[in-house]
């Protein structure tokens, strides 16, 4: 197989993250040959947005060859600005929940992280430094381990690239 040179630019950055709960998914089918996935949400369920400070969402992926087979580990780290009750209420509702994330990068590539069998999980911590003009808010981490790479959303999935307007206030 040959990897050809890509066309156009290669812009980095992810913002925002979309998430849904495992129990809100009607079906999630992944084609292992193309690594494309299709998610159908249950009636009345939608993707939710989780805003992160610009340039703060980082994704790290690692693959390991283990005796039981390949293991793919993904870790997201993002900063959600300002210590505010609306954010903490939502973040609290994500605790101990099984999540599927949809991360859309600035190249327009959309990938699903988490599956029905192996969902992503969230942990977080509040950061309030002593400096007056420094970042303060929530550092949120999502992590998961899987037996196959994260699936790509099909181009025809109609995933919105422009989330609803968000205010940091």
Q: pLDDT by residue for the chain (169 residues), tens digit each?
A: 766 666 766 667 887 789 999 999 999 999 999 999 999 999 999 999 988 887 889 999 999 999 999 999 999 999 988 888 998 999 999 998 999 999 988 878 889 999 999 999 999 888 887 776 677 889 999 999 999 999 998 754 444 445 555 554 4
How many residues would you count in the chain? Answer: 169
CA neighbor of 119 nearest in space, from 93, 107, 137, 101:
101
Query: Cα 16 to chain center, whole Å?
Result: 8
Sign, Cα dihedral of 6, 114, 28, 30: positive
CA neighbor of 144 nearest in space, from 124, 123, 120:
120
The 10 Å Cβ neighbour count of residue 130 is 5
Query: Whole-angstrom Cα distance, residue 31 to residue 35?
Result: 5
Determine the Cα angle at 22 with ends 97 and 164, to 5°: 90
pTM: 0.83
Q: What is the pLDDT of residue 166?
A: 53
């Amino acid at each position: 197989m040959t990897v050809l040179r890509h066309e156009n630019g290669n812009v980095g950055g992810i913002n925002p993250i979309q998430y849904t709960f495992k129990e809100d998914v009607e079906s999630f089918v992944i084609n292992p040959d193309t690594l494309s996935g299709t998610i159908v949400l249950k009636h009345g369920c939608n993707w939710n947005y989780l805003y992160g400070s610009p340039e703060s969402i980082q994704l790290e992926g690692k693959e390991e060859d283990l005796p039981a087979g390949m293991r793919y580990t993904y870790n997201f780290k993002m900063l959600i600005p300002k210590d505010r009750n609306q954010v903490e209420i939502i973040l609290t509702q994500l605790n101990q929940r099984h999540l599927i994330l949809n991360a859309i990068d600035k190249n327009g590539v959309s990938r699903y992280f988490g599956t029905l069998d192996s969902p992503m999980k969230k942990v977080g911590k509040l950061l309030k430094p002593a400096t007056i003009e420094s970042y303060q808010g929530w550092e949120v981490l999502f992590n998961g381990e899987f037996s196959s790479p994260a699936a790509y959303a099909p181009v025809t999935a109609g995933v919105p690239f422009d989330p609803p307007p968000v205010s940091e206030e």
